[in-house]
Amino acid sequence: MPRSFLRRGESISAWLWLPFWLVMATIAIFQHGPMPMFSTRALSVAWEMWQRHSFLVPYLNGAPYSDKAPLLFWLIQMGWAVGGVGDVWPRLLEVLFGATELVLVAVLARRLFPPSRWQRHAAPWLLLTFTYGFLFGLQVMYEVLLAVCVLTALLALVPSARREQPHFVLFALAIGLGLLTKGPVMLLHVAFPWLLGPWWNAWAKREPRRWYGQGALALLGGCAMLVVWALLAAHAGGPEYRNQLLFHQTAGRVVNAFAHAKPVWWYLPLLPVVIFPFALWPRMWLALGALRHPLEDGTRFLFAWLLPVLLVFSLISGKQLYYLLPEYAGFALLLAAALGQRHRQSAGAAKSGWLGPWPLALVNLGLGVALTLLPWLVIHGRVHSPMLSAMAPVSIYVGAAYLLLGGLLLVRGRGELVRIAIVGAIGAVVANGLFSTVLWPAFNLKPAADVLARAQAQGLPIANLESYEGQFHFLGRLTQPIQSLHTEPELQAWTAAHPKGLIISYPDSMTPTMRQQAAYTQPFRGVWMAVWSVPALTAAHADRWLPAAYEAPSAVERLMR
């Protein structure tokens, strides 16, 4: 552990959350393959850049990809340059991003609440336990890297024991890297603590001109990093990519962002989901309710960060819980601040058992009992769900795990928060393992991607009956585009032009005859996925979409032998 991370009297045991995270995250992220569409799309973009030797311009399905900036893809390719193309390095990269985020949270907690060791020890445990953030962090996506950039930028603004003045060079660098991770949204995550600096930062209050002047220069410096890449990429990517990158990513997204497709209040009822399992800890809610004025400077910083960002994201129509992933660290710090204040106020007093984690214990125990009894219910015909029946062979072991976790939560004594964190993280890993054992076959596109790779090796064209999100390109190491078909005329024109091609479809159901006619089928996310030769699809759906059956022999039948 770097000596700068440890203060006098602070032992290595205070950092046990770091090896715990590394073990839990590594186990969880390798329990199944890359998840469609999140991980498979990002990996496919990195693969096409690698395969095309394109450093500046991301590609997806054979076309320049203007939706994301390239930093994540560059980091993935750095690992591939050393160890070869594969999905091991990208997954380890996400684990390292998560570990870095936890370290930054611990350092930020120390700076925000310097008198108390409790907050800086509690904040990483809180953050690593947020179940949604933990599971989403297993995706090869941009948000965890963005969170690292956001926390680094904010850390540059917060005074330390040695330096009161902000580190605006670091602020600029972190902003630039964040912009190269996910574009202009990076500014939204960091702008408000800077704009509201005099409210929470003593140096900003004394030196407002330097705070805003140097901060503005840092913002411009960070933006310059994005602009340099964008101009070079626009030149290399051609006119269409230049138009998409420079205009669609700015004016077009801003216009569409405020269309209010989802209600303004959409995030509020989901905040307990964000902080689960701590949402089932009564002591946490009591601590939050006890926050009173005057607020500490550290708590003011958190409000200056979290409230404006939550408000602006609520006004934007496109809403997803993972859009707020950089703010999950702020939620953890706020909970740590509230719990730390409560801890100081109740020092020496007996703790009430009714404020303990008994609701979470009951959830674990109830889930454990249900899963333990599931095999008996299936054997006696009390359960008719195919999914639950598939769980039965392993459910007794998973149920036993949840019974043990529930029992651990009922133990009275010190270390209540750490016990909740350990139970929450292990419970998430166990749930992810159950998903991997039972449901992953319906998400695993690797077998289908292998079929498509063999088809492309034989020179067969491929089409997809929906928008194609790159879900097969990395998994199959495909080198040619897949055509997206959205309408019946498009389908008919494509089949007429490519009588020996393959078509991927996603029907709601498939009869046994249709499954025999298709070259490959599998359940996929509640529907079916099928790979057809043109003649087979014509025969199966002649009364719906296609013209008369073609006489061309089925190359897929030869392919599957």
pLDDT over 50 (residue 147): yes
Assess whether pLDDT exceeds 80 at residue 540: no
Specify the pLDDT at position 362. Answer: 96
The whole-angstrom separation of Cα 52 and Cα 54 is: 5
CA distance 121 to 99: 15
Q: What type of residue sits at position 319?
A: K
Q: What is the pLDDT of residues 483-528, one digit of tens each?
A: 999 888 899 899 999 999 999 999 888 888 888 899 999 999 889 9
Extract long-range pairs of 51-60: CB within 8 Å, 24+ residues apart.
51/477, 51/479, 54/236, 56/229, 56/232, 56/233, 56/236, 56/237, 57/233, 57/236, 57/237, 57/241, 60/470, 60/473
Cα separation, 303 vs 292, in Å, equals 13
Is residue 13 very low, low, confident or very high in pLDDT (cuts 50, 70, 90)? low
Q: What is the DSSP string of 202-269?
A: HHHHH-HHHHHHHHHHHHHHHHHHHHHHHHHHHHHHHHHHHHIIIIIIIIIHHHHHTS-SS-GGGGGG
Q: How is residue 162 annotated by DSSP? A: S
List 59's β-bridge partners, or say none: 64
Q: Does position 346 have pLDDT exceeding 70, yes or no?
A: no
Report whether 434 contacts 398 (CB < 8 A). yes
48-60: pLDDT as tens digits: 999 999 999 999 9
pLDDT of the residue at 539 = 79
- Judged against a pLDDT cut of 50, whether residue 7 lies above it is answered with no
Of all residues in the chain, the percent with pLDDT exceeding 90 is 71
Given the structure tokens 């605006």, which residue do they identify?
A: 168
pTM of the model: 0.91
- Mean pLDDT within 192-218: 96
Q: What is the largest CA-CA distance in the chain?
A: 86
Flag whether pLDDT at 100 surpasses 80: yes
Q: How confident is the model at residue 9 (pLDDT cuts 50, 70, 90)?
A: very low
pLDDT tier at 352, thresholds 50, 70, 90: low
- What pLDDT digit, counting tens, does each position of 361-417 carry? 999 999 999 999 999 999 988 888 888 888 999 999 999 999 999 999 998 877 899
From residue 382, how far is each of 366, 388, 389, 391, 400 by CA, in Å? 18, 11, 10, 14, 21
Question: 291 is written with which tokens?
Answer: 């926050």
Give the separation between CA 50 and CA 58, rounded to whole angstroms.
Answer: 9
Quick one: DSSP state of residue 181? Answer: H
How is the chain split into domains, by residue range?
15-242+262-342, 353-442, 446-559
Q: Is the dihedral of CA 82, 83, 89, 92 positive or negative?
A: negative
For residue range 175-187, what is the model confidence (pLDDT) as tens digits?
A: 999 999 999 999 9
Q: Is the pLDDT of residue 252 over 60?
A: no
Average pLDDT, the chain: 88
**What is the average pLDDT across 104-122?**
88
How, if at all, do strands 527-533 and 520-524 pair?
antiparallel
**At which residue do the structure tokens 């205070």 appear?**
14
Write down the residue that tokens 């015909």 correspond to: 381
d(CA 312, CA 177): 22
**Phi-psi label, residue 341: left if phi above 0, alpha if psi -120 to 50, beta otherwise:** alpha
Q: Is 257 a residue whose pLDDT tops 70? A: no
Confidence label for 552 from pLDDT (cuts 50, 70 and 90): very low
Tell me: the pLDDT tens digits for 234-248? 999 888 888 888 766
Judged by average pLDDT, the poorest of 100-114, 282-296, 318-332, 398-412 is 282-296
